[in-house]
Amino acid sequence: MATTTTKTETFVGKRIRRREDPRLITGTATYVEDIQMPGMHYAVILRSPHAAARIRSIDTKKAVSAPGVVCVFTGKDTKGVGAVPCGVAMPDLRVPQHTILATERVYFVGHPVAVVVARDRYLARDAADLIEVDYEVLPAVADPEKALAKGAPAVHPQWPDNVAFTYHQDGGNIDKAFAEADVVVKQRIVSQRLVPMAMETRGVVAEWRGADRQLNLYTSTQIPHLVRTIVAAMLGLEENRMRVIAPEVGGGFGSKLNVYAEEALMGYVSMKIQKPVKWIESRRENFTCTIHGRGHVDYYEVAAKRDGTILGIKLKLIQDVGAYHQLLTPLIPQLSVLMMPGLYNTQNIRGDIIGVFTNCVPTDAYRGAGRPEATHGIERMVDILAAELKMDPAEIRLKNFVTKDKFPYPTATGLMYDSGDYATPLKKALDLVGYVKLRQEQADLRKQGKYMGIGISTYGEICAIGPSPATPAGGWESATVKIEPSGKVTILTGACPHGQGEETTFAQIAADELGVGLDDILVIRGDTAVVQYGIGTFGSRATAVGGTALYYALQDLKAKIKKFGEMLLESDDVSLMIGQVIDNKSGKAKTFQEIAGAAYRALKLPPNTEPGLLATRFWEPPNFTFPFGAHIVVTDIDDETGQIKIRRYVAVDDCGNILNPLIVDGQVHGGVAQGLGQALWEQAVYDDNGQLVTGELTDYAVPRAQMMPWIESHHTCTPSPINPLGVKGVGEAGTIGCSPAVVNSVVDALSPLGVRHLDMPLTPEKIWKVVAKKN
Amino acid sequence: MKINLSINGKSYSQDVEPRLLLIHFLREVAGLTGTHMGCETSLCGACTVELNGKAIKSCTMFAVQANGAEIVTVEGLANNGKLDPVQEAFWNEHGLQCGFCTPGMIMASKQILDRNPSPTEEEVRHGLEGNVCRCTGYQHIVNAVKAAAAGAGK
Ligand code: FES
Ligand code: FES
């Protein structure tokens, strides 16, 4: 019999290299595209080249008779398939019918029109070119503010004003706050559309097994269980006849926190042709047809006293929805309104959202989802206020922070911040960067006509999403822990981590709780036929919610192990330690193998105890968690080229207890890269006709190695009281903290030129124009 | 068209369509799916393999152009279960998250070290210019390449 290692060392909190890595570094992991099946066919989707058009006719004859082609389906064929759903319910939400293939009209460039199925991907692609679609091109609108203007083309003819939804939230007494203010600062701030650009594009393999009435769907997703529930309903298939597998997933960042037309479409195709079918999104399709993020135009007003005390914040938020709602589209800007006050102690807010239809691909969750926009807004406004009052940006923040003694702190937006100590990371970051000296240096450089800036952002975020009443689909998470008859430990997690490292951190938690070695533990995720129902990985929730479900399942299991230990040791005073149960009186012990053996052999059972060693918990979090931190960015600007050089990037993040510092730093680095991408380079640009101009990696500048500064990553630790692990979540911190720190730094550098605000991305051209104009 | 080539020391002799991309030959004919397609346009580096000792992007080369070549893919790096030092370094330094860019990153990193056994941070970053990673922010990848360099120098 295999032995289970017992050990006294603990794993939580250590820099442990990841257990998922061996398959990834040897090229033996299985992503969707790696799946091959006998008889497998390939699908290619024909998409609209127009942003708005009526489909007069589709002629598929030539394509159908092309070599290797099995069939072609259009919107007429798939009429019986349910619509792609919006998962958010709101009063007055306008939800356009989102069919999986276009029927009468197309609404954005990339809108799926037909699917060609062939025995080879090259032949499918050839045949797609042979489909003739007669379009009557209609006027399009791609800019949300233009879409709101009178006389703009209607994206959906039934709603000529292009308003998709509105949302209003008031807290405290905003009118009084503004009436009493010494100063009011206002600014229009754009948080531009971004392309999530996971390195693995989306992809689906559908395998219909007719004799079993069973549909197996392999899809690159963050939420396999939700995909199963929704796609089964779309296809009219019983949910228990569908199995969704998220194999290795090559990055999501929110873009795979969705249910897409292609997932149902491939299910439909496989059921029709009775063969497995594979569709892999091209990079071009990924740019044009997978959700985008952000897409805000924000109008901020902040009221304050002359001493810098913030009295109230108003925000009018225009959200570019795109042509449809995807799963969570209308929810994302609501997170921005919830986060409006940031870390500051003001009880007066007013937030108004207008969601606007445009002839673009829908927006939805992208790393941070609503919170980077909110943080960017408030952190820019605080700097603008500081400049107006000639205050130091660090000082004005310290003055307005919710202080340490105020937690749990109820915000004006109805949240309850769990724990916090906002001054500590800021002070630490100021120390690390050498703030006082830098300000002196800046004064000297300014005398020489040089532009150097110091930018601060102090951010908070809503993580561990989230209590079920606050989410559209349940905010709990599940975990099962089993001790197998041999004593080995298997964990099934309903969260579906895909790069965040929970195969390692969950093993660390279980190893410490049970006193076994990491190698005794296997973490399984991402298969609805194996894992009990779960919600998924997004919103920095996998560890804080899924890890907690695991923690409680472990407690249940430990109680059962003890019972068997008591029985075998004939003692009522036992403890569980280092992989065994010990009789506290005699010192005699039973190993896990012996206990597992007894529990499964079941010759004798403890009173009121069933055989086997397994525990499942569905944990409902009582609240979100609220991580926070301070990022400081020092920039030097070349006034001849407009190039921004980041001299220092100091990040002090407080994500509560840290289970694995190596993984946490990796999350911070990756998050910062995406924040920096938004701040400096990335932007999804649609022209007036709704063509995506930045639809390839040549035109859409994602950060590359030589573009990234060295990130000095540090931490403070304020455990969350919301979960027994004390963790808060760290997946989005870097992204949320980053962009305002960068923009504040550049604006600070250029402030001698009278610059007060710049919209992202801060391309060299944009900066050069500012400097050249003033010189 | 008939082509002969060697992949990870194994010979292949195969009839292929003239327009079959090398990456599809590797993945679908040879069954080596470690080499990934990230962009199809030579811009992301996920498909990087070594061809006659040089790192190339297999998404923009036809299989027929590789006739007679010796190719090494990520699957060919570990020797009898022993990881290549670059693989080991990526593991130790947490140089990957989702892993999709990783095979290409590892092949590109090997090339950097082949040309320059002790590169500076600058040189590593410059050498990885053609490879996109959306997860790591590159810092741990830089650490990995430098660690591999330091380890190899011992
Ligand atoms: S797939 Fe070859 S460079 Fe991107
Ligand atoms: S590890 Fe995910 S793209 Fe590099």
* Per-residue model confidence as pLDDT tens digits over A82-106: 999 999 999 999 999 999 999 999 9
Q: Are residues B59 and B29 in the same domain?
A: yes
For residue A8, name the pLDDT band (cuts at 50, 70, 90).
Answer: low
Average pLDDT over residues A340-367: 97
Average pLDDT, chain A: 96
Q: Last residue of a domain, which of B76, B101, B117?
A: B76
| pLDDT tens-digit map of A285-334 | 999 999 999 999 999 999 999 999 999 999 999 999 999 999 999 999 99
Question: Which of A16, A20, A24, A288 has the most B C-beta neighbours within 10 Å, making it the best mutation to test the interface with B?
Answer: A24
Classified as helix, coil or strand, B10 is strand
Same domain, B43 and B89: no
Residue where the block lists tokens 């290795």: A248
B58 vs A: CB within 8 A: no
Q: Name the CA dihedral angle for A128, A129, A132, A138, rounded to a multiple of 10 degrees.
A: 100
Residue type, A670: G
pLDDT of res. A579: 85
Do the beta carbons of residue A201 and residue A297 sit within 8 Å? Answer: no
Residue A703 CA: distances (Å) to CA of A681, A707, A732, B134, B140: 8, 6, 17, 8, 15
Please check whether residues B65 and B117 belong to one and the same domain.
no
Q: What is the CATH number of the domain that holds B96?
A: 1.10.150.120
pLDDT at res. A539: 81
Residue ending a domain, among B59, B76, B93, is B76
Contact predicate A542/A655, CB 8 Å? no
Q: Are residues B48 and B96 in the same domain?
A: no
Which of A387-396, A489-498, A626-635, B107-116 is least confident? A489-498
Whether the per-residue pLDDT at A1 is higher than 80: the answer is: no
Residue A156 CB partners (closer than 8 Å, separation 6+): A94, A96, A107, A162, A357
Q: In this structure, which amino acid lies at residue B154?
A: K
Let me know whether B67 and B91 are in one domain: no
**In DSSP terms, which residues pair with A190 in a beta bridge?**
A297
Q: In one letter, which amino acid is A29? A: A
Please determine, for residue A665, whether its predicted confidence score (pLDDT) is greater than 70: yes
pLDDT digit string, tens, across residues A137-174: 999 999 999 999 999 999 999 999 999 999 999 999 99
pLDDT in tens, A577-609: 888 999 999 999 999 899 999 999 999 999 999
Residue of A nearest to B97 (CA): A499
Residues B62 and B121 in one domain: no
How big is chain A, counted in residues?
775
Taking residues A459-482, report their average pLDDT: 91
For B76-88, what is the mean pLDDT?
95
**Which among A283, A498, A734 is the nearest to B98, CB-wise?**
A498
Per-residue pLDDT band at A117 (split at 50, 70, 90): very high
Q: Are residues B14 and B66 in the same domain?
A: yes
The whole-number pLDDT of residue A666 equals 96
Q: Which residue has the tokens 């649609």?
A: A686
The 10s digit of each residue's pLDDT in A170-204 is: 999 999 999 999 999 999 999 999 999 999 999 99
A718, burial (CB in 10 Å: exposed 0-12, middle 13-18, buried 19+)? buried
Residues of chain A above pLDDT 90, percent: 95
Closest atom of ligand 1 to B58 CA is 2
How buried is residue A93: exposed, middle or buried, by Cβ count under 10 Å (0-12/13-18/19+)? middle
* Nearest atom in ligand 2 to A198's CA: 3
Q: For the segment A526-537, what is each residue's pLDDT rounded down to a tens digit? A: 999 999 999 998
CA A58 to ligand 2 centroid distance, Å: 40
Check CB contact of B101 with chain A, cutoff 8 Å.
yes
Pocket test for ligand 2, best of A18, A23, A197, A199 (most atoms within 8 A of CB): A199
Tokens 């951010």 appear where?
A459
Residue A448: pLDDT over 90:
yes
Check whether residue B72 and residue B109 sit in a common domain: no
Instruction: Say how far apart CA B18 and CA B27 lie, in whole Å.
Output: 16
Rounded to the nearest angstrom, the gap between the alpha carbon of residue A604 and the centroid of all alpha carbons in its chain is 49
Which region holds residue A449: left if phi is over 0, alpha if psi is between -120 and 50, else beta?
left
Residues B111 and B69 in one domain: no
Q: Starting from the edge strand earliest in sequence, which strands make up the sheet with A614-619, in order?
A: A521-525, A489-493, A477-483, A614-619
Specify whether B67 is located in the same domain as B128. no
Checking if the pLDDT of A6 tops 70, the result is no
Domain harbouring B26, CATH code: 3.10.20.30
- A472 has a pLDDT exceeding 90: no
Q: State the residue range of the domain holding B9.
A: 2-76
Alpha-helical regions (H) of A26-91 = 61-64
What's the pLDDT at A416? Answer: 96
State the average pLDDT over residues B135-148.
98
The answer to whether residues B8 and B72 belong to one domain is: yes
Tokens of A131: 């489909």
Q: How confident is the model at residue A243 (pLDDT cuts 50, 70, 90)?
A: very high
How many domains does chain B contain in total? 2
In three-state secondary structure terms, A42 is strand
Residue B90 sits in the same domain as residue B72: no
What b/e readout covers A739-775, taking b as 16+ CB neighbours within 10 angstroms?
A: bbbbbbbbbbbbeeeebeebbbbbbeebbbebbeeee
* Boundary residue ending a domain (B16, B45, B76): B76
Model pLDDT for residues A13-68, shown as the tens digit of each residue? 999 999 999 999 999 999 999 999 999 999 999 999 999 999 999 999 999 999 99
pLDDT at residue A773 is higher than 80: no
* CA distance to partner chain A, nearest, from residue B78 (Å): 7
Query: Are the C-beta atoms of residues A461 and A671 closer than 8 Å to each other?
Result: no
List the domains of chain A with CATH numbers. Answer: 21-29+476-619 (3.30.365.10), 32-138+201-249+256-289 (3.90.1170.50), 296-466+623-774 (3.30.365.10)
Ligand nearest to the CA of B44: 1
pLDDT 10s digits, A254-272 = 999 999 999 999 999 999 9
Q: What is the pLDDT of residue A113?
A: 98
β-pairing, A203-209 vs A277-280, is antiparallel
CB environment A483-497: b (16+ within 10 A), e (fewer): bbbebbbbbbbbbbb
Nearest-Cα residue of chain B relative to residue A706: B125
| Confidence band of A775 (pLDDT split at 50, 70, 90) | low
Mean pLDDT in residue range B103-117: 97
Of B17, B40, B128, the CB nearest to A283: B40
